[in-house]
């Protein structure tokens, strides 16, 4: 034991933290961001875009729909909640998912068609719910018009 203690070199002075990922030993937020960006090469998930013209309690339905977190029949069945059939409540032909209710269903497509007529924009060609929520990004017109289109989409959902 005495040999172990005698061989130990103790530096006199103040203690200092040393960040091993920096040559100078200094931790910086920029440094950790650089490390994380080099590790995660996946593209970031598109963040939901809120619109302050739409009340939060209304837009939260769209937010949950985008995450497929609405209480649809398919969601209930996935959680082993008993439901009568899985078919869409509007058309009765396909499984009731958020994606189907807001994009694939003929009922939804008629709603979107009416919205495009009302907003005087090109018909919506959507392959997924994100295409609908990003419709205002590809629309022409002023930023106010695009914001109004985005608000109309969020309210319609
Ligand atoms: Zn349907």
Provide mean pLDDT across the span 55-75.
Answer: 94
70 lies in some domain: yes
* C-alpha 138 – ligand 1 centre gap (Å): 26
Question: What pLDDT, on the 0 to 100 scale, is given for residue 42?
Answer: 61
Question: What pLDDT, on the 0 to 100 scale, is given for residue 16?
Answer: 81
Confirm if 125 and 111 have CB atoms less than 8 A apart. Answer: no
* C-alpha 148 – ligand 1 centre gap (Å): 27
Would you state the structure tokens that stand for residue 73, as one six-digit string?
Answer: 């029949």
Q: If pLDDT is split at 50, 70 and 90, which confidence band does 43 have?
A: low
* C-alpha 10 – ligand 1 centre gap (Å): 74
138 lies in some domain: yes
39 lies in some domain: no
* C-alpha 107 – ligand 1 centre gap (Å): 7
80 lies in some domain: yes
72 lies in some domain: yes
15 lies in some domain: no
Answer yes or no: is pLDDT of 78 > 80.
yes
Rounded Cα distance between 120 and 145, Å, is: 10
Provide mean pLDDT across the span 137-157.
Answer: 89
Answer yes or no: is pLDDT of 44 > 60.
no
Confirm if 69 and 61 have CB atoms less than 8 A apart. Answer: no
% of the chain surpassing 70 pLDDT: 93
Number of domains making up the chain = 1
* C-alpha 90 – ligand 1 centre gap (Å): 5
Answer yes or no: is pLDDT of 46 > 80.
no
* C-alpha 128 – ligand 1 centre gap (Å): 14
Evaluate if pTM is beyond 0.85. no
* C-alpha 18 – ligand 1 centre gap (Å): 59
* C-alpha 78 – ligand 1 centre gap (Å): 18
Give me the phi and psi of 151, to 5 degrees please: -65, -45
Answer yes or no: is pLDDT of 50 > 90.
yes
26 lies in some domain: no
38 lies in some domain: no
Rounded Cα distance between 136 and 152, Å, is: 10
* C-alpha 63 – ligand 1 centre gap (Å): 20
* C-alpha 86 – ligand 1 centre gap (Å): 11
Provide mean pLDDT across the span 57-76.
Answer: 94
Rounded Cα distance between 69 and 52, Å, is: 22
Would you state the structure tokens that stand for residue 32, as one six-digit string?
Answer: 């950790």
Residue 134: domain span: 56-156
């Amino acid at each position: 034991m005495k040999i172990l203690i005698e061989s130990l070199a103790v530096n006199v002075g103040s203690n200092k933290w040393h960040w091993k990922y920096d040559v100078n030993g200094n931790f910086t937020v920029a440094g950790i961001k650089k490390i994380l960006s080099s590790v995660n090469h996946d593209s970031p998930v598109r963040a939901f875009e809120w619109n302050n013209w739409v009340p939060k309690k209304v837009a939260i339905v769209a937010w949950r729909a985008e995450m497929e977190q609405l209480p649809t029949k398919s969601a209930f069945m996935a959680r082993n909640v008993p439901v009568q059939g899985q078919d869409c409540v509007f058309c009765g032909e396909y499984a009731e998912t958020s994606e189907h209710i807001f994009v694939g269903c003929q009922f939804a497509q008629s709603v979107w068609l009416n919205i495009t007529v009302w907003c005087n924009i090109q018909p919506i060609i959507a392959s997924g719910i994100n295409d609908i929520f990003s419709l205002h990004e590809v629309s022409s017109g002023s930023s106010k018009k695009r914001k109004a289109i985005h608000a109309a989409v969020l309210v319609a959902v």
